[in-house]
Amino acid sequence: MKNVRIVMVGDVDAGKSTILGRMLVDLGLVTPTKLDELETSSAKRGVPIEYSFLLDAFQLERDQAITLDLSRIWVRTPQAEFVFVDAPGHRELIRNLLSGASEVDAAVMVVAADEGITQQTRRQALFLRWFGFGSVLVAVNKLDLASDPRATFEERAAQVRTFLDQLGMRPRAIVPVAARSGDNIVRTGPLTAWWDGPTLVDALGTLERASSQDDGPLRFVVQDVYRRDGKRLIAGRIESGTLVRGEHVTFWPLQTGARVVEISAWPHVLGSAGTDASIAVELDARVFVDRGAVGSRATDAPELGHVVQTTVVWLGADPVYAGEALRMRLGTREIPVTLQRIEEIVDPDTLEPREADVLRSGDVGVASLVARELIAADVNVPGSSIGRFVLVRGGAIVAGGRVDVVLGRARGEGATNVVAMTSSVERHERSARNGHTGGVFWLTGLPSAGKSTVAMAAQRMLFERGRHVYVLDGDTLRTSLNVDLGFSDEDRSENVRRTAAVAGVFADAGFIVICALISPFAADRDLARAAYPNAFHEIYVACDLQTAEKRDVKGHYERARRGELAHFTGVSSPYEVPAHPDFVVDTAVHRIEESASALLEYIETHVGRR
Amino acid sequence: MPGLDYLDELEARTIFILREAFSCVSPLAMLWSIGKDSTALLWMVRKAFVGEVPFPVVLLDTGMEFEEVYAFRDQLVAQWNLPAANELCPPESTVDPTLPPAARHAARKTAGLRSLIAREGYRGIILGIRRDEQAIRAKERIFSPRHADGSWDPRSQPPELWDYYSYDVPDGAHVRIHPLLHWTELDIWRYTLREQIPYVPLYLARKGKRFRSLGESNITFPIESDADTLEKIIAELEVTRDPERAGRAMDNESEDAFERLRTTGYM
């Protein structure tokens, strides 16, 4: 039987652990020996039998009569099986409560009759809503302290309804209990004789396990790549949807794709695998896939962008302000991000949003994160881990978050019902006819480093030798395909992406494509490589800034120095020197013709002519 | 296999955790006590890594295990071709004399583990403990960072949201990885039966007694039972109210015995 996982929330001392302890005893799940032990431990601390000690096992917990950390307890009733996660109610222990809420199917909120809804209860309910719980089962406890249990219960129940309504949540049921005396936990009792609704255990029986996401969009999250018997196996977990052997899977964010020829669940091979399955797949092509990639069908891909708007719960001891660099763990990928902006936080007292520029421990807020790398994320895909993330500061998890909007490269409404066609002419057939293979030779460097000049010279020489060659020049493309783009970081990235896509098509058609683009950011150049990973060559056209500025072919350096050009690479915008270029030509040291000849030799070697 | 059943789901989660550990923590080793839990875990390690066991599996050996346990180990090491290692634990005279007598044996294991980690520089240790075994273990995280001396600070455990684990530890410290926390004793036996995983025969009843939990031979006692097949063990556990570790002397010598053992680094 699958058990239903339930988290218990409520303020400190509302009686969460006591309810669970009492339930265990009244269901007959505690042995006489254990009950004796309990009496001894309780007597030692001068209290009547303390049912919560069944869960609160730490000495400190028993001495102070509070829960410090999550405990899990398995309970079998005649109707159902449950795993209860007992979470501490203290504000400082929110990280423990959240850890508990992130692994369950349903929530029970305990409200003490004498205290009602406290600020801490509000805060916890806010977290539950944040986790996506639409409803909660409520137990109004400690009715043994009320002079008129019925009136007190009705008053509290009305308060609970109003409060949940305000949050946009609903009560699954509101049940009166007195944990210490055991009334209405498993059986009704004298304090709740007037009550004609369910006992707590009966109400728990109506809760259900979160349903499987087999029918959702395919999300195969890659953990690792293993090599076994000459096979390359992509290991990971299906978090949504079903994967069938033989189908084509696209891996994001690099958008590489291949057909799945084997689904392995050692020692077996499977015809298909559903949600939550941990599997390893073999592909029919050696495309680049590694940890962090997410596989989907081409028709229902995750969203792509450099900016995500999120709702986060901050857990770090030190607060966070806009501008801090953090690491985001999204699925199995770890991405450097910057907290771009804090839009607002939710006030736990009024539940209203208010402006803020800082997130402190326990705050729930809306914040934007920006990344150099392209992020593949999901919004509202149940089960998918690329819709929820944690933030890491100095190695420690300091926040949890949910992706609400993906920005920065809207794919918009397009590109949903598209399946890439398989070509009727194969790449090797084109190479055989052309006498060489295709490839992308990507020249990057400072303005006036000589990229275009070297590219043009090399093109001429290759053409003379009968090669199919074409130069894609950054400035030229900006007058046509990329006419809508400016020079912001964002637009530069898009410029690179489009140029790389065109280059990839030319290369696939058998051409030697030489691209001449400043392409200042390493992340963008990596993205460019992804457009044609089998034959992409990053070539650094090296030239020191002084020499380039002296050349100043187009007079841009001078204008930038005068402050007339914003975002000018080398002056008002950074250039990230390639860390591991495939080839370097140095135009500060060599003449143009020498550089072009060196490039020619390099290209010829890599298109199968040497 | 769409529509995973309950055991499939538990297994899939364990495999996910093992793969996370292997990708994110290095060097890594697994403790294999030869009992039912860590043997089932070992079977899942082979599943996770497509037939291989990519890290050493270590027995913390006090020399006091049951003979059947040693024999079972040698047989399985050969049968599964395991990268097994033995770590001899220091003698009792070296451990904290204020501990109750049985707990001192456990402390020897803690000391053995400490010296293993120090010598091999492991940053991750995989362990087959479960939350339902014991109320202190019920409070564990799946990835549980430890101080350099192996000690555990249960009052400041890191958040563990969804399947995002904390694996960054300073040099010299390590993280304990617990891929079986979400399993129960009953789950383990049902899975062992389904998957036909080998186990030490001491778990089966002979002459009205069987071992429910295996520890050192001098501090572990059998329970009354007629369950001489796995099916009968499962039927027995479906109705029992007795705790699993009732036959483990070290847990039960004093109220805080197990907490003291664990905060100083016991498994």
Convert B6-53 into a string of H (helix), E (strand) and C (coil). Answer: HHHHHHHHHHHHHHHHHHHCCCEEEECCCCHHHHHHHHHHHHHCCCCC
Tell me the average pLDDT across B38-53: 97
Q: Record the tokens describing residue B151, joined without a space.
A: 């000690």
What residues does each domain of chain A span? 4-204, 219-299, 303-407, 427-606
How many interface pairs between A and B have CB atoms less than 8 angstroms apart?
155
Which pLDDT does position B183 carry in this prediction?
A: 94
Between A4 and A78, name the one with better pLDDT. Answer: A4
CATH class belonging to A303-407: mainly beta
Greatest mean pLDDT range, A262-266, A345-349, A363-367, B86-90: A262-266
Would you say the CATH fold of A303-407 matches that of A219-299?
yes
Interface touch A272/B1, C-beta < 8 Å: yes
Which pLDDT does position A67 carry in this prediction?
A: 63
Interface touch A235/B136, C-beta < 8 Å: no
| Residue at B43 is within a domain | yes
Q: How far apart are the first and last CA of chain B?
A: 35
**Which residue in B has a C-alpha nearest to residue A393's C-alpha?**
B168
CB A332 within 8 A of CB B16: no
Q: Record the tokens describing residue A591, joined without a space.
A: 């003449």
**Which residue in A has a C-alpha nearest to residue B262's C-alpha?**
A58
**Which residue in B has a C-alpha nearest to residue A264's C-alpha?**
B50
| Residue at B16 is within a domain | yes
Tell me the average pLDDT across B55-66: 92
Between A190 and B250, name the one with better pLDDT. Answer: A190
Do B10 and B47 have their domain in common?
yes
| Residue at B172 is within a domain | yes
Phi, psi at B86, each rounded to 5°: -120, 130
Q: Tell me how close the Cα of B159 comes to any Cα of chain A, in angstroms.
A: 5
Other C-beta atoms lying within 10 Å of the C-beta of residue A524: 25
Using the predicted structure, report yes or no on whether residue A48 has a pLDDT greater than 70: yes
Least confident of A140-149, A403-412, A485-494, B89-98: A403-412
Domain membership of residue B167 as a residue range: 6-183+255-263
Using the predicted structure, report yes or no on whether residue A65 has a pLDDT greater than 70: no
Using the predicted structure, report yes or no on whether residue A71 has a pLDDT greater than 80: no
Q: What's the farthest any 2 CA atoms get from each other in chain A?
A: 101
Q: Tell me how close the Cα of B123 comes to any Cα of chain A, in angstroms.
A: 14
Tell me the average pLDDT across A181-188: 94
Tell me the average pLDDT across B169-193: 94
Using the predicted structure, report yes or no on whether residue A220 has a pLDDT greater than 60: yes
Using the predicted structure, report yes or no on whether residue A540 has a pLDDT greater than 70: yes
Interface touch A228/B161, C-beta < 8 Å: no
Tens of pLDDT, residue by residue over B187-244, are 999 999 999 999 999 999 999 999 999 887 878 889 999 999 999 999 999 888 788 8
Interface touch A68/B155, C-beta < 8 Å: yes
A380: nearest Cα among A219, A257, A242, A250:
A219
Residue of B9, B157, B169 lying closest to A276 (CB–CB): B9
| Residue at B195 is within a domain | no
pTM: 0.75
pLDDT band with cut points at 50, 70 and 90 for residue A59: low
Determine whether domain A4-204 maps to CATH 3.40.50.300. yes
Which pLDDT does position A351 carry in this prediction?
A: 76
Q: Tell me how close the Cα of B238 comes to any Cα of chain A, in angstroms.
A: 10
Residues of B within 8 A of A329 (CB-CB) are 164
Using the predicted structure, report yes or no on whether residue B90 has a pLDDT greater than 80: yes
Chain B within 8 Å of A36 (Cβ-Cβ)? no
| Residue at B191 is within a domain | no
CB B48 within 8 A of CB B19: yes
Interface touch B136/A58, C-beta < 8 Å: yes
Between B208 and A66, name the one with better pLDDT. Answer: B208
Do B140 and B218 have their domain in common?
no
Count the domains in chain B.
2
Which pLDDT does position A133 carry in this prediction?
A: 86
Interface touch B241/A30, C-beta < 8 Å: yes
Which pLDDT does position B118 carry in this prediction?
A: 92
| Residue at B1 is within a domain | no
**ipTM of this complex:** 0.94
Cα–Cα distances (Å) from A516 to A94, A472, B47, in that order, read 53, 6, 49
**Quick one: what percent of chain A has pLDDT higher than 90?**
47
CATH homologous superfamily of A427-606: P-loop containing nucleotide triphosphate hydrolases (3.40.50.300)
Greatest mean pLDDT range, A200-204, B41-45, B159-163: B41-45
Do B259 and B232 have their domain in common?
no
Q: Tell me how close the Cα of B129 comes to any Cα of chain A, in angstroms.
A: 14
Strands A396-407, A439-444: pairing kind: unpaired
Tens of pLDDT, residue by residue over A225-258, are 999 988 999 999 999 999 999 999 999 998 888 9
Q: Record the tokens describing residue A151, joined without a space.
A: 């009136």
A1: nearest Cα among B130, B190, B63, B173:
B190
Interface touch A99/B49, C-beta < 8 Å: no
Do B63 and B147 have their domain in common?
yes
Interface touch A388/B166, C-beta < 8 Å: no
Which pLDDT does position A410 carry in this prediction?
A: 41
Q: How far apart are CA A14 and CA A140, in angstroms?
A: 9
Which pLDDT does position A411 carry in this prediction?
A: 40
Do B178 and B212 have their domain in common?
no
Using the predicted structure, report yes or no on whether residue B1 has a pLDDT greater than 60: no
Do B113 and B150 have their domain in common?
yes
Using the predicted structure, report yes or no on whether residue A501 has a pLDDT greater than 70: yes
Q: Tell me how close the Cα of B19 comes to any Cα of chain A, in angstroms.
A: 7
Which pLDDT does position B101 carry in this prediction?
A: 77
Chain B within 8 Å of A230 (Cβ-Cβ)? no
pLDDT band with cut points at 50, 70 and 90 for residue B2: very low
Q: What is the CATH number of the domain that holds B178?
A: 3.40.50.620
**Quick one: what percent of chain B has pLDDT higher than 90?**
61
Using the predicted structure, report yes or no on whether residue A200 has a pLDDT greater than 80: yes
| Residue at B167 is within a domain | yes
Q: How far apart are CA B93 and CA A250, in angstroms?
A: 61
Which pLDDT does position B155 carry in this prediction?
A: 72
Chain B within 8 Å of A93 (Cβ-Cβ)? no
| Beta-bridge partner residues of A221 | A237, A294
DSSP codes joined into one string, A573-587: B-----SS-SEEEET
**Which residue in A has a C-alpha nearest to residue B255's C-alpha?**
A41
Residues of A within 8 A of B163 (CB-CB) are 385
**Across chain A, what does the average pLDDT equal?**
87
Interface of A with B in 199-228 (CB under 8 A): 212, 214, 223-224, 226, 228
Do B106 and B23 have their domain in common?
yes
**Which residue in B has a C-alpha nearest to residue A38's C-alpha?**
B255
Please report, to the nearest 10 degrees, the dihedral formed by the alpha carbons of residues A193, A197, A201, A207 taken in order.
-170
**Across chain B, what does the average pLDDT equal?**
90
Least confident of A311-320, A532-541, B27-36, B176-185: A532-541
Interface of A with B in 257-276 (CB under 8 A): 264-267, 270, 272-276
Interface touch B2/A68, C-beta < 8 Å: no
Cα–Cα distances (Å) from A489 to A410, A555, A573, in that order, read 16, 22, 9
pLDDT band with cut points at 50, 70 and 90 for residue A521: confident
Q: Tell me how close the Cα of A369 comes to any Cα of chain B, in angstroms.
A: 19
Tell me the average pLDDT across A65-93: 73
Q: Which fold has domain A219-299?
A: Elongation Factor Tu (Ef-tu); domain 3 (2.40.30)
Using the predicted structure, report yes or no on whether residue A365 has a pLDDT greater than 70: yes
Do B213 and B162 have their domain in common?
no
Cα–Cα distances (Å) from B106 to B41, B174, B185, B248, in that order, read 21, 20, 21, 11
Interface touch B259/A57, C-beta < 8 Å: yes
Do B179 and B210 have their domain in common?
no
Tens of pLDDT, residue by residue over B112-145, are 999 999 999 999 999 999 988 877 787 889 999 9
pLDDT band with cut points at 50, 70 and 90 for residue A433: confident
Do B61 and B135 have their domain in common?
yes
Tens of pLDDT, residue by residue over A306-355, are 889 999 999 998 999 988 999 999 999 999 999 988 989 988 777 788 88
Interface touch A397/B184, C-beta < 8 Å: no
